[in-house]
Structure formats: structure tokens, C-alpha cells
Structure 1
Amino acid sequence: MLRGINLSGQIYANGELFPANSAINYFLVEKRMNFVRLLVGWEQVQPELFGALDVKQVSEIDAQVRAIIKLGGKVQIEIHSFGRRSIEGVEYVVGETEKVTTNHFVDLWERIAARWRDDEGVIFELQNEPHDQDTRTLIDAQNAAIAGIRRVGAKNLVIVSGNDWSHPGWFSKRENQAWAAAIHDPLNNFAFSIHHYFDKYSAGKDCYVQSTSPRVFDEFVKWARLTGRRAMVGEFAACATKDGQKAVTEFLNYVERNADVFSGWTWWAGGGWWQDDYIFLLDPYASQWDKNNPDRNVALGGTGRATTWAYPRKDRPQMKYLEPYLRANDSP
């Protein structure tokens, strides 16, 4: 089971920072995680369609890959594109316009795959949270990208997505099940990315917990078991509240109990430019500024304003929810 964290790279603009080495050490060494979902922007890693990968971006990603693998972890290079590519400030859905075609998408992934195909600890995630688009076109584009990845000799695990923000609810419509079954990989080495938050519509916008029950996954799990499909929980999170803790615990118990379907999970998020008061941030230096932190008074007992990795740190309370599961990553 892969158990880890989403860490931000340059996903929206040049100048955003990739995770510091101290962040990787914290999550993988101190907290015993074994997996990082590394967020990368298409526009940043490939500035021109059909063009070469950006040299600086490749160097930055290489540094992350080396640091994570050296510590015994795996890293998932994920294009944080929402099924789209931005051109001069306008977003175009992949495969639905001549501006951004399926061939553009395939070219991106052939270049990424050729660059990191020899790193056994690297996983490829084609795109983050596609939404509001034609499901058949989405599946066709992903199939074409998988074919391109295999064409350049990469055998890495590939992560694909369904429609509707990767929430498991997208799967409930019969036609979506049919298109999900149409994903094809000649190596049969792929998994679906599933995201889950606990507020209304699984939006991940606030601390409200609509339900702590993970039963929304039941239909997908049953289908996956019958068809031999696998899944990764690419994103989930909750606030530092009693309901949040209950939701996370019930959810992770469910995922771990169904390990024949789920290959792993990653908390959202940390390791970058997040604001100190971001409600789901797992970076420890911001714990005292979370307004929903029940341990806030204890956290405030420290000296100085802990706003960098260099300061003495206290774990965020949500880390307590994860640590019982992270102990399973320890060597026998």
C-alpha cells in the first residue's frame, strides 16, 4: 500500500517552488510515508505544444525524483491540468478542439515517459480531475496517451481518471462504467485516480462534513473487483475537527480493508506555496495558524512564529489521524 502526500510543484505559474528537501525528509523519514504525488503544470513543463520539455522543469522534477526514491519512496508525476491546456489565458479541453488535440496530449506524455521510463519508482498520472467534458473523448485521449507511453518503451504504472473531478460519483452512470471499461493498456499496468472530500459535493472547500461514510465507493469497488481494475486515492482531506477525524479514520479503514482494489492513498496537500491558514495543509510549520485546530492553544505555546521549515515544528493535528496507518510502512 502506497501511503503519502500531494506535494506542489510549479502547477500554475513559473516561480512557484517545488518542495524543499526538508519537506520530503519530514514526510518520508520522520512520518514514514512512502509515496509522493508530485503536482506539475503542463504549461510549465512543456511551454510550447509539440515542443521540448522545459530544461529547468526537468531538472527540478529530477531532483524531486532522486530525493524521494533515495529515501525508499515512489513518486507520481501528475499533470495538474483538469483535462485542459491553457493558451493565452484561455482553457481548451483536450481532444475537443483543434487548439489542443489528442495528439498534443500524446506528445506530452511520450516526452515525459521517454525521460523517466528507466526510473522504476516513478508513476505517471495523465491528468488531474477532468470535468465538464465528453467522457468518450476523455477515454480516447487517455488510451492514446497510454499507447504513446508504451510506444517509447515505458513500463511504468499509469494513472487514469474518470470524468467529474475524479469523484467516485462520476462512476454511477451506466455509460460511464462502459467507458471506464474501455481503458486499454497492453501491459495492463494502470489504475484509476479517485478523489474524495467530505463536504457537500465532495468539493474540498470547507470544514463541513456531510457524511463520514465511505459507502459512496461501494459501487466502484464492486465493479473493480469484478473486472480486475485497480484504483489510487489521489486526493482526500478533512479539517482538524472531531467530525473530520472520524471521516478520515472511517475512510482509511475502508481503503486499507479493500487493498485488493486500492493501491494507495495521498493526503491533500503540502510541500509548497500554500497559505499558512489553508485548512488541509499538512506542512507542520503552519499548525498553530489553523483556525479549526483544536490544539491551537497548545501550538501557540511555542516561541516565535513558525512559518518556515527551519523553525522548531509541531505536527498539524491531522497528522495524528494518519500516523496509525503510516506505521504499517515500517520494515518488519
Structure 2
Amino acid sequence: MFLTKQLRFTLQSTSFVVVLAACVGATILYAGVNESGGEFGVFGSPGTGLPGEFGVTYDFIAESTVDTFVDTNQINFFRVTFLMERMCPLATGLGSTFNETYFSEYEDAINYITVTKGAYALIDPHNYMVRRIFYSDPSSQPNSGSIIGDTTDPSAATTEQFQEFWTELATRFVDNPNVVFGINNEPHDMATSLILQNDQAAINGIRSTGATQLILAPGNGFTGGHSWTQVTGANDDPSSEWLNQIVDPLNNTAIDIHEYLDEDFSGSHDTCTQPGPTNLAALTTWLQENNLKAIVSEFGGSNDPTCLEMVPELINYLSENDVYIGWSAWAAGPFWGTNSPCCGPEVGSLEPGQLDEEGGPNGYTTVWQAVIQPNINLSDLKRSGVSSLS
């Protein structure tokens, strides 16, 4: 999701019951929200923000928010963002050398979710793969930077360095069965064959540590589900032509999908015009044909009547098709304040406990209330143990 969107909250009382749940008989194992904030503090401010100051420039979660989502809402899945430029200092570049302060802060957030609360945490390097900067300021992400693995760019991090990074990160979480590894956020505008190469390198690095947890692999075109079988970017091959070549010795890698329902699939408009079932139909067939699973790790909608109809329709579609095993909504996060992470100027964040711009109490937006089905059974959601497709 682009972080340049300046959107506003229109929020309701936190007394509303949860918004994020799986239906009776659903195939959904993971249901939850994105926790956005670890990537804050560098965008639009060249020369600033790195490494940043925890609690001032960036933050990962509010523990009270996680408590609310798990204890009251009974969800089990959090996608937690971070910046690779913070995890790997610019001076040393992408690889196995970490900023131990930043890692420790991130680890604390992951452990609170997974150990203290017993939920699952999806690790999210929020770097777009295709447009990341490792040796200069990343303030203009996702629209500039060096492509990981681009051998024609001398400033680009190599695929081998990417594998080193993932080997080190997986080593640090190898004994945490409630961690899910997300390879990278929203690759776009690069050769799809290179995305496969980088995805495979990450998988190889993760598995080399003995880690058995679930991995999510993204495709091209911002990993959009609607465009999975289509040419994207500068005539880049469809993701469907390459991503079925992924090899995981444990067969525990799923496809990472993002799907917004507005006119250009960006999540920047308050009207939903793109029905999820229609736009995911080709992807669903591809997953079935290739015996693969997927998680929709980003989606969103506004309070517009079109979204109040189409967002629940999307959730139901995922639940009714067993190739989909999870979803997470965009987005909560401790630093959104009176801004909104997606879907128009009067939508609202999913972060409980903050105030709207008039100083009133916040809560869950109407569109999330509409997701709740009359008969909710959350017993199908995984609660502990190694994340696995088996």
C-alpha cells in the first residue's frame, strides 16, 4: 500500500463487536489486520528518517491494540511492517549485518503477538522489491531506487545478498512457530523472472536454517490478484507464467496477494467498483490448477455503500474457495493518528483507542462491521503451532 495517501478518520465507538472474522465452515485459517508503522518516518523527507527514533519516527504496534484484536475480536493474524534499510544499515548494505537496536524493537513486537498473545505474525519487509534503495535515501519509495538482483545497476543489492538477509532473519525466528515469513511487499515494474529468482533465493535461505514455517511469495504488478494472469508494468510477464515454478522442499509456501476494490485497484478511492469474485476468478483457477494456496494480505474499503456490499462479498468468496487460507485488512498502526491508511478521505484506520480529527472516540469503520456474518465460528482459525499448508 502506498504510504503517501493522506486520508482521514471517520470512526465509530469501540463498543462495536469485531469486524474481522471467518465464516462457519470457512477454509480461512488466518484472519487479521496489518500493523503499519515500522516503515514510517522517511517518506517525503529526503535525508531524514534513517535509522529514525523508535516511538517518535516509527513504531510497530500498540500492545493494547493487539490485546483488543485478540481478546475481544478473536482474530489470530498480524502483518507487521518494517524497512530493510533500517534492519540492514546503509553503511553495510543488504545482508546478514543487522541494526541490532531496530531488530530488537521489531522482535519485541513479534514476540508480543506470537508468544504473549499466541497469535500469528507475518513478517513484512515493506520494500516493494522492485524499487528499493539500499545505498541512498528511500524517501521516494515506491517510485525510485535500485531493483534487488538487477545486474545492470551497480548500486543494486544482489539476489545473493537478499538470500543472506533472509537466512539471517529466519535464523532469528526459526524457533518461533507462530511466525510467517513474507518475502517482500508489492514487487512491481521489473522482470517477473527476477521476482521468481528473488523469491526462490529467499525460500532457499529460510529453509537452509531449518525453519519450517509458512512462507508467502509475492508476484508482479504490486502482487495484485486481479492482474495475476495479465501483463503488468512495462510489458512484464504475468505472474502466472513464473510463480508456479517456485520450489519449496517442505511445500509450505503460499502466494501473497493484494486486492483493492476501487477503480484502479490502488485503495485510494472511497468507491468500490471492482467485484472481488470477478477479479480473482482467473487467479483462483490458476491456484487450483497448480495446487497452490494464497493469502490476501492486503485489502480495504470505505464506508461507501458500494464497499459495504463488495468487501463482505470478497471475504465470503475467500472463505468459499479452499485455495485461500487467510486475509489481513489494511491497516491498523499506532502512528496513523487522524490520517487513514486507505480508501478515501473519510474512512478511518483500524487502530482502536485513537481520536478522530474532531477529538471524538474512534472505533471500527462501518465497512468492517459489514464483514461480520450472522453466525460466526472462529474455531477454524489456527491458534498455535507451526504455520503449515498441511
SS at match of 2:222: helix
1:277 to partner: Cα distance? 3.8
**Do 2:31 and 2:77's aligned partners in 1 also have CA atoms closer than 8 Å?**
yes
User: 1:218 & 1:45 partners in 2: Cα distance?
Assistant: 37
Change (3 A) 1:286 1:242: farther
Change (3 A) 1:327 1:271: farther
Report the residue type matching 1:6 in the other structure: N
SS at match of 2:145: strand
User: What residue number does 1:6 align with?
Assistant: 34
User: 2:263 & 2:205 partners in 1: Cα distance?
Assistant: 38
1:280 to partner: Cα distance? 4.9
Residue 92 of structure 1, aligned match among 146, 152, 163: 146
Q: How does 1:32-47 map to 2 (within 5 A)?
A: 32-47=74-89
Change (3 A) 1:325 1:22: farther
Q: How does 1:71-110 map to 2 (within 5 A)?
A: 71-83=117-129, 84-86=131-133, 87-89=135-137, 91-96=145-150, 97-99=153-155, 100-110=157-167
User: What residue number does 1:282 align with?
Assistant: 350
- Structure 1, unmatched stretches of 5+, are 290-299, 307-311
Change (3 A) 1:118 1:8: same
CA deviation profile, 1:171-219 (whole Å, cap 9, x unmatched): 2238532201111111111011111111122011110222334211111
User: 2:258 & 2:276 partners in 1: Cα distance?
Assistant: 15
1:61 to partner: Cα distance? 2.1
CA deviation profile, 1:98-125 (whole Å, cap 9, x unmatched): 3211112111101110000110000000
User: 2:145 & 2:319 partners in 1: Cα distance?
Assistant: 37
User: What residue number does 2:45 align with?
Assistant: none
Change (3 A) 1:315 1:286: same
Residue 174 of structure 2, aligned match among 114, 117, 125: 117
How many residue pairs get matched? 312
Report the residue type matching 2:207 in the other structure: R
SS at match of 2:226: helix
1:95 to partner: Cα distance? 0.7
RMSD, aligned CA: 2.2
**Do 1:31 and 1:323's aligned partners in 2 also have CA atoms closer than 8 Å?**
no
Report the residue type matching 1:34 in the other structure: N
CA deviation profile, 1:14-43 (whole Å, cap 9, x unmatched): 221111111111211121111000111111
**Do 2:261 and 2:276's aligned partners in 1 also have CA atoms closer than 8 Å?**
no
TM normalised by structure 2 equals 0.75
User: What residue number does 2:4 align with?
Assistant: none
User: 1:95 & 1:314 partners in 2: Cα distance?
Assistant: 43
User: 2:294 & 2:72 partners in 1: Cα distance?
Assistant: 27
1:273 to partner: Cα distance? 1.4
User: 2:311 & 2:188 partners in 1: Cα distance?
Assistant: 25
User: 1:325 & 1:257 partners in 2: Cα distance?
Assistant: 16
User: 2:375 & 2:191 partners in 1: Cα distance?
Assistant: 38
User: 2:109 & 2:375 partners in 1: Cα distance?
Assistant: 21
CA deviation profile, 1:108-161 (whole Å, cap 9, x unmatched): 101110000110000000100000011101111111111111112111111111
User: What residue number does 1:270 align with?
Assistant: 332
SS at match of 1:164: coil
Report the residue type matching 2:368 in the other structure: M
Residue 197 of structure 2, aligned match among 131, 140, 148: 140
User: 2:374 & 2:177 partners in 1: Cα distance?
Assistant: 24
Change (3 A) 1:220 1:213: closer
**Do 1:77 and 1:122's aligned partners in 2 also have CA atoms closer than 8 Å?**
yes
User: 1:318 & 1:68 partners in 2: Cα distance?
Assistant: 25
Q: How does 1:1-332 map to 2 (within 5 A)?
A: 1-13=29-41, 14=52, 15-47=57-89, 48-49=92-93, 50-69=95-114, 70-83=116-129, 84-86=131-133, 87-89=135-137, 91-96=145-150, 97-99=153-155, 100-173=157-230, 175-176=237-238, 177-258=240-321, 260-278=322-340, 279-285=347-353, 288-289=356-357, 305-306=359-360, 314-324=363-373, 327-330=376-379
Change (3 A) 1:207 1:71: same
Change (3 A) 1:153 1:173: same
User: Where has structure 1 moved over 6 Å in runs of 4 or more?
Assistant: none
SS at match of 2:242: helix
Change (3 A) 1:4 1:213: closer
Report the residue type matching 1:241 in the other structure: D
Report the residue type matching 2:255 in the other structure: F
User: 1:287 & 1:207 partners in 2: Cα distance?
Assistant: 21
SS at match of 1:269: strand
1:91 to partner: Cα distance? 1.1
